[in-house]
């Protein structure tokens, strides 16, 4: 984010927005809402400040391991770029190393870096997969995201129980057997 931005100007815009919907931004409960909103919005979009390649390169290790590594149930929270409403869910990320493994905590950090941006689930899924595949030099990568979208739950069709699944596979995960093993491991975890 641009460090030279005058965020107080944006706080004023939020106060004007509150007034436009019929609220009094000077009443007790809303007095500091513009500042809190701007602070929260900056946090929810802090992924733009993350070096996604750097997250992974700081913890690459030479290991002779060439079987699937799967990290299940990585919680994420993001904002839909179409309505600025939240979507949230779980990511399941797998890769087959080629001489290098990455510290396991770096995979959730990568998911968070992409989630903390204005997003669509489809692009976020692809970004995670492509970054892992490229930076690790992995034989293959598979990513599945499952998410609930407030833009479908609170407005529009108002379907609270619907969730969306997306997947992206790279390299050897495009092989039907490898893809099937990955998806089996993801679904097996659900019971």
Q: What are the residue numbers of the active site?
A: 80-83, 121, 149, 151
SS3 state of residue 67: coil
> Of 189, 167, 185, whose CA–CA distance to 177 is shortest?
185
DSSP alpha helix (H) spans, 23-98 = 33-44, 52-57
Q: Are 91 and 144 in contact (CB under 8 A)?
A: yes
Sign, CA dihedral 6-7-8-11, equals: positive
Residue in this structure with the two tokens 């839909």, named with its chain if needed? 80
How far apart (Å, rounded) are the C-alpha atoms in residues 25 and 48? 30
How far apart (Å, rounded) are the C-alpha atoms in residues 113 and 117? 7
């Amino acid at each position: 984010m641009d460090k030279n931005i005058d965020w107080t100007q944006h706080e004023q815009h939020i106060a004007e927005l509150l007034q436009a919907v019929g609220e009094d931004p000077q009443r007790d409960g809303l007095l500091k809402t513009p500042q809190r909103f701007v602070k929260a919005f900056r946090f929810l979009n802090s992924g733009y400040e993350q070096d996604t390649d750097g997250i992974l390169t700081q913890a690459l290790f030479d290991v002779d391991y060439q079987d699937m590594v799967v990290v299940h149930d990585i919680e994420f929270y993001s904002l839909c770029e179409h309505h600025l409403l939240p979507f949230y869910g779980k990511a399941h990320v797998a890769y087959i190393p080629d001489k290098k493994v990455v510290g396991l905590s770096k995979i959730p950090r990568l998911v968070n870096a992409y989630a903390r941006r204005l997003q669509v689930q489809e692009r976020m899924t692809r970004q995670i997969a492509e970054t892992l595949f490229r930076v690790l030099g992995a034989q293959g990568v598979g990513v599945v995201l499952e998410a609930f979208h407030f833009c479908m739950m609170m407005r529009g069709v108002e379907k609270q129980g619907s969730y969306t699944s997306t997947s992206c596979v790279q390299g050897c995960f495009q092989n039907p057997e490898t893809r099937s093993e990955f998806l089996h491991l993801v679904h097996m975890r659900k019971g």
